[in-house]
């Protein structure tokens, strides 16, 4: 059973994915995030790079859709998302969650490690916030929380730790709670 804290975090994440704010997650939401990223990076339509980002986000939708037990394969409601998260992410097998975490981390690095140095810089992290319409004013605080060794770079290991804490931790002060910005219960002091 999800704790209230986990429900709040997972609802925040659902709302970020629901790009058009219609109360459901669908393929168009994922495509809109990719389009937003392309606009941010000034990637022209009808270019191979544009197609690669759109395909990457569409693949994320199809992987998500295959995992969620939903009545309509074209969208997922908040209830279906929370049920999926409870069964598979928070209280499911470690093997499934590890694959999920690895996939999210790989997708973030594939999309946002612009210089391909194996780290996410603060500027690259800000791009995540802009692409998902997360309030940018919390990006530096979020980044600082996730940067566990304070070297001003997010490694894959630090990001993995943040992903795990965001989805699983019942601790209100876990650094990973800041993965997708401020959502209400985090301690705002650094």
pLDDT tens digits, one per residue of 84-126: 888 888 888 888 888 888 888 888 888 889 899 999 999 999 9
For the segment 34-43, the average pLDDT, to the nearest whole number, is 90
Residues with Cβ < 8 Å from 101, sequence gap 6 or more? 160, 163, 164, 167
Q: Is the pLDDT of residue 188 over 60?
A: no
DSSP sequence for 132-178: TT--GGGHHHHHHHH-TT-SS-B-HHHHHHHHHHHHH---TT-GGGG
Determine the average pLDDT of the residues in 121-140. Answer: 92
Q: What is the pLDDT of residue 189?
A: 54
Alpha helix (H) ranges present in 48-155? 48-67, 78-84, 94-112, 122-131, 139-146
Highest mean pLDDT of the ranges 83-92, 124-133, 144-153: 144-153
Domain range 4-178, its CATH number among 3.10.105.10, 1.10.238.10, 1.10.3720.10, 3.40.50.970: 1.10.238.10
Whether residue 36 is predicted with pLDDT greater than 80 in this model: the reply is yes
Is it the case that residue 190 has pLDDT exceeding 60? Answer: no
What average pLDDT score do residues 175-183 get?
91
Its pTM stands at 0.86
Out of 6-10, 46-50, 103-107, 151-155, pick the least confident: 103-107
Residue spans per domain, the chain: 4-178
The predicted pLDDT at position 147 comes to: 97
pLDDT of residue 186: 55
Q: Picking from 36-50, 101-115, 134-148, which range would have the lowest pLDDT averaged per residue?
A: 101-115
> What are 4-21's pLDDT values in tens digits?
999 999 999 999 999 999
Burial of 184 by CB count in 10 Å (0-12 exposed, 13-18 middle, 19+ buried)? exposed
């Amino acid at each position: 059973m999800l704790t209230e804290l986990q429900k709040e975090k997972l609802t925040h994440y659902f709302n970020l994915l629901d790009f058009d704010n219609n109360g459901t997650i669908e393929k168009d939401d994922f495509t809109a995030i990719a389009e937003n990223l392309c606009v941010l990076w000034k990637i022209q339509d009808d270019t191979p790079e544009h197609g690669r980002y759109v395909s990457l986000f569409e693949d994320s939708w199809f992987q998500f859709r295959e995992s969620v037990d939903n009545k309509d394969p074209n969208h997922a409601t908040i209830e279906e998302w929370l049920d999926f998260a409870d069964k598979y992410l928070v209280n499911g097998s470690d093997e499934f969650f590890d694959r999920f975490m690895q996939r999210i981390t790989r997708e973030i690095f594939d999309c946002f490690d612009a210089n391909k140095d194996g780290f996410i810089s603060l500027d690259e992290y800000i791009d995540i916030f802009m692409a998902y319409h997360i309030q940018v004013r919390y990006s530096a605080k979020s980044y600082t929380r996730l940067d566990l060794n304070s070297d001003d770079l997010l490694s894959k290991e630090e990001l993995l730790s943040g992903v795990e804490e965001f989805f699983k931790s019942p601790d209100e002060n876990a650094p990973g709670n800041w993965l997708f910005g401020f959502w209400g219960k985090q301690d705002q002091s650094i």
